Structure 1
Amino acid sequence: MSKFVYDQDLNSFRESYRVWLSNRNYFYQYVISKQIGRSLSIQFTNYIKKENGSQEFRLIVGEDRNEEGKFLVHYSFDYSESSYIETKEDEGKKFKVIEELRFGEEIQRARHRPSDSNKIAAMDGDGLIHLFNLGGNNTQKQILKGHTKEGYGISWNSRQDNLLVSCAYDNNICIWDTNQTDSQISPLYTFKDRLDSLEDIQWNPFDKNVFGCVGDDKKLGLYDIRQKKCTSCITAHSNEVNCLSFQPHYENYLLTSSSDQQIALWDIRKMGERMHTFLGHSGQIYRIDWSPLLKDVFASADDKNKIILWDTSKIGDEQIGRDADIGPPELIFKHVGNRDEIRDFCWSPYIKWMIAAVDDNFCLQVWKIDPDTILENMDDLFISVFDELKK
């Protein structure tokens, strides 16, 4: 299997971006970007199908614009099946602002309710979670108050989506009922069994009562809200565990990623041993997420400006020729179109192979690879790009 790969250890951000810029027409069907305020959060919301056959996709993005203020911004952009790679002159022109909501503190993470893309939960830098509606109906804004420090972990329950779970650097996990109507909501229950900062949390998509949580204590814990306790806890990595992601297509599997530069695949029925370790990052891995449309594919992002795509169906495949120099068989693509650390990314739930990301270069970028890059044999082209980066 061919791979488009940049070796970040050999190149600066600027050099890897230069090579990406000169070769992107070979590997992408769609690339747009926009300079924005500092952002830590991005997620696709809904889309509108237009009469001309194109689609308008929407994103929620947290932005810190310094003196101007801190906002949650609802963006849209038009997409059609025909290929579009923006030029320097066209940068930012595809994006339109639908709505801007001002906040007193920076938004750490914002996610919409599974059944209602206008219902948003947003955690700020004080650990408060703001619950509100997009579309101008913000009179129903509520505050979920239970954390005493900032955090990045919030997750809606896809099977009982009035339930929200959150974690933060105060080491606590809070369960919330978002159907409550009070202006200030207290947690239904708080788990206080962890001894270090908690980084990420997620409900199991196959079991409405179970969620996983990871943190700086290097542990992965599984919790059951019926028993109100951690039912399984293991040391998952040799360093901080920054993120986890349950497999949405196959029951019982999940991923964890760490500052130890590794991604681990687990079977929650037998947590004593990893199923597989994914190696390919040269920095701390802060985000991982399974594709909602490609059942064996997930993406991961590190602090060295890389987003890597992986295909678990390729684990154990034989590698021929130069492929072994580039990476393991399950590593199928590396994107280095960002010029600084990736803060957050999300898969499109509507278009295969499309990802949106925000980085520390104050850039919002949406891209979609050409599936032929993955499915067809393009060894000579891949290797020529790989060799150019080593000059």
Structure 2
Amino acid sequence: MPKRTSDAADEPAAKAAPNGREPRVAEEDEGMGEFEDRWEDDIESESGGEEEIGGDEEGEEDGKPALMSWFLTNEVVEEAPPAKQTYLPGTKLGPGEQLVADQSVYLALHSLSYAWPCLSFDILRDNLGEDRSTFPHTAWIVTGTQAGEVPGQGKAKDEVVVMRLGGLSRTQRHDEDDSDAESEDEDETEEDATLDFLTIPHVGSVNRIRAAPVASTAQIPDPYHVATFSETGKVHVFDVRPYIDTLAGPSRPRQKIPVHTITNHGRNEGFALEWGQTGLLTGDLASKIFLTTVTPTGFHTSPNPYMSHTSSIEDLQWSPSESTVFASASADRTVRVWDIRAKNRKSVVSVEAHSQDVNVISWNKGTDYLLVSGGDEGGLKVWDLRMFKDTPTPVADFSWHKAPITSVEWHPTDTSVFAASGSDDQVTLWDLSVEQDEDEEPIASGVNADGTPITVPPQLLFVHQGQKDVKELHWHPQIPGMMITTASDSFNAFKTISV
């Protein structure tokens, strides 16, 4: 019987899908994921808690193993190394079976935990250059907390957090006989990963947070606006540029109150929030969508909402090619497309996209007629918006996830690749350009715990695991292949060998 050396129920995991790209085994990096607080005096006093990050030389801290990929191994014999078999999520564990961790499927993998859960975040653009490939990397993000109860004190104060993740070094080294890789490695330096952050007080938990768009060739804007949707029903807009400047260099005065607050939603909280060149879209649980425009004189929110949905607005996306067009996803199971020039403020076209709530959508920036949606039933569907007539069918339909989809996002440059996360603790990468020959056997198969067969879709490139209740993911627009994810227990920043 196969033997697995770590407990599958408690230990985090990450793995590559068996798509024909065989991973190479590499030694674990002993310093992976260690973050140091370089702003101790300023940071800890403002954050209200200390961060908890990384892993020690054994890949653990406080008994919690670092993220790895899982493989099945046979019993070790002296005559030959153990055979490996890719572990498929959902596979029933046999008596005495354990999981063995392996990181060879990652170029880099780092993990960090904050004082409170941060269930929404966005990546901030920086001035460090485009298409950065040389390690170590630096990434800037902005996030918001969902603080819990403090014994004897009630609910803790929430905050918006501006973070700089530095020293994100390569955690996998190439084989010594790979001369090209050696030359590439010589240009890199190894650093300990660091986390620097500053906080802004926030009234209520942050349901969702989004940064205003910045052109790829532009400098960091001043002001740099970030919007939050609070559980109180208010949408706050902050200027985070002074916080970025303080972390990056000389300190600047930092305003700890919003520069603007939108109150049109009343007491109806929401989770849908999206910036575009035209303005800021906000959608609430009462099925109302409001548009706020930004002018040199300030912010203006139209008092008249867009209303066609019959249930809560779950997600919003601006069209990448038409500045007046946006799409919405709702708990009424539909995806709708709108044009703000329509005087009746009703959607132009719609489709019943899922059998349950439509939680998230993402509009392909390179192929502007493609949109991917994720539903409460765990389905992922890719739609051709040109076919949004009568009863359209998706051009791709995947049912790999076993729980609600919580986030989807197209790759910023590869128009056939997208990523998704689910409440089943999986982050999956998909490539629509991969097709399976009719006479070809399934790529891999197994058996679920309930006895049903597992068949891996050929389009599934990679499965990342290890976080609990993954809520949101984003590709870094300036570091090709770098993905950052957040969950109830941690952030992950990683680059895989598959993308």
Shorter-chain TM band: 0.7 to 0.9
User: Residue by residue, what CA displacement relative to the aligned partner does 1:240-264 show, whole Å, maximum 9, x if unpaired?
Assistant: 1101111111121101110122111
1:177 aligned counterpart, secondary structure: strand
| Structure 1 residue 167 corresponds to structure 2 residue 280 | no
1:351-366 equivalence runs, <5 A: 351-360=479-488, 362-366=489-493
Larger radius of gyration: 2
User: Residue by residue, what CA displacement relative to the aligned partner does 1:2-58 show, whole Å, maximum 9, x if unpaired?
Assistant: 37875433369xxx9x84x811x21111111112111121111123549x9854210
For 1:124, which of 207, 230, 233 is the aligned residue?
230
| Structure 1 residue 100 corresponds to structure 2 residue 175 | no
For 2:398, which of 275, 278, 290 is the aligned residue?
278
CA distance in 2, matches of 1:53, 1:40: 27
- 1:142 corresponds in structure 2 to 260
How far residue 281 of structure 1 moved from its aligned partner, in angstroms, is: 0.9
CA distance in 1, matches of 2:87, 2:310: 38
1:283 aligned counterpart, secondary structure: coil
The percentage of counterpart residues that share the same residue type is 20
How far residue 180 of structure 1 moved from its aligned partner, in angstroms, is: 6.7
Shift in alpha-carbon separation, 1:60–1:196, aligned structure 2, 3 A: same
1:1-391 equivalence runs, <5 A: 1-2=19-20, 6-10=87-91, 19=99, 22-23=101-102, 25-36=103-114, 37-49=116-128, 54-66=136-148, 67=150, 68-79=156-167, 82-83=170-171, 94-115=193-214, 118-134=224-240, 135-136=242-243, 137-138=254-255, 141-147=259-265, 148-157=267-276, 160-161=277-278, 163-179=279-295, 181=297, 185-187=300-302, 189-227=304-342, 228-271=345-388, 272-317=392-437, 320-321=440-441, 323-325=443-445, 326-338=455-467, 340-360=468-488, 362-371=489-498
* Paired letter, 1:278: F
Shift in alpha-carbon separation, 1:11–1:150, aligned structure 2, 3 A: farther
* Paired letter, 2:494: W
* Paired letter, 1:42: F
User: Residue by residue, what CA displacement relative to the aligned partner does 1:90-130 show, whole Å, maximum 9, x if unpaired?
Assistant: xxx73423321111101111111112563111111122111
2:355 aligned counterpart, secondary structure: coil
* Paired letter, 1:57: A
Query: Is the CA contact 2:163–2:198 (under 8 Å) kept in the aligned structure 1?
Result: yes
Shift in alpha-carbon separation, 1:186–1:152, aligned structure 2, 3 A: same
TM-score by length of 2: 0.65
1:298 aligned counterpart, secondary structure: strand
CA distance in 2, matches of 1:35, 1:126: 26
How far residue 77 of structure 1 moved from its aligned partner, in angstroms, is: 1.6
TM-score by length of 1: 0.82
Query: Is the CA contact 1:318–1:329 (under 8 Å) kept in the aligned structure 2?
Result: no
How far residue 187 of structure 1 moved from its aligned partner, in angstroms, is: 2.8
* Paired letter, 2:236: H
Choose between structure 1 and 2: higher strand proportion. Answer: 1
Choose between structure 1 and 2: higher helix proportion. Answer: 1
Shift in alpha-carbon separation, 1:317–1:166, aligned structure 2, 3 A: farther
CA distance in 2, matches of 1:125, 1:84: 41
1:282 aligned counterpart, secondary structure: coil
Range moving further from structure 2, 119-128 or 184-193: 184-193
User: Residue by residue, what CA displacement relative to the aligned partner does 1:264-287 show, whole Å, maximum 9, x if unpaired?
Assistant: 111111122221212211111121
User: Residue by residue, what CA displacement relative to the aligned partner does 1:196-223 show, whole Å, maximum 9, x if unpaired?
Assistant: 1111111111111111111110011111
Gap runs ≥5 in structure 2: 1-18, 22-68, 70-85, 151-155, 174-191, 215-219, 244-253, 446-454
Shift in alpha-carbon separation, 1:57–1:154, aligned structure 2, 3 A: same
1:269 aligned counterpart, secondary structure: helix
Shift in alpha-carbon separation, 1:262–1:245, aligned structure 2, 3 A: same
How far residue 353 of structure 1 moved from its aligned partner, in angstroms, is: 2.0
Shift in alpha-carbon separation, 1:288–1:233, aligned structure 2, 3 A: same
Size of the aligned set, in residue pairs, is 353
Range moving further from structure 2, 324-333 or 314-323: 314-323
CA distance in 2, matches of 1:53, 1:335: 21
2:20 aligned counterpart, secondary structure: coil
Shift in alpha-carbon separation, 1:203–1:317, aligned structure 2, 3 A: farther
* Paired letter, 1:218: R
Gap runs ≥5 in structure 1: 86-92, 375-391
* Paired letter, 2:458: P
CA distance in 2, matches of 1:123, 1:216: 18
- 2:61 corresponds in structure 1 to none
* Paired letter, 2:230: D
CA distance in 2, matches of 1:366, 1:288: 16
| Larger RCO, structure (CA 8 Å, separation 6 or more) | 1
2:123 aligned counterpart, secondary structure: strand
Shift in alpha-carbon separation, 1:320–1:351, aligned structure 2, 3 A: farther
Shift in alpha-carbon separation, 1:217–1:370, aligned structure 2, 3 A: same
Shift in alpha-carbon separation, 1:53–1:104, aligned structure 2, 3 A: same
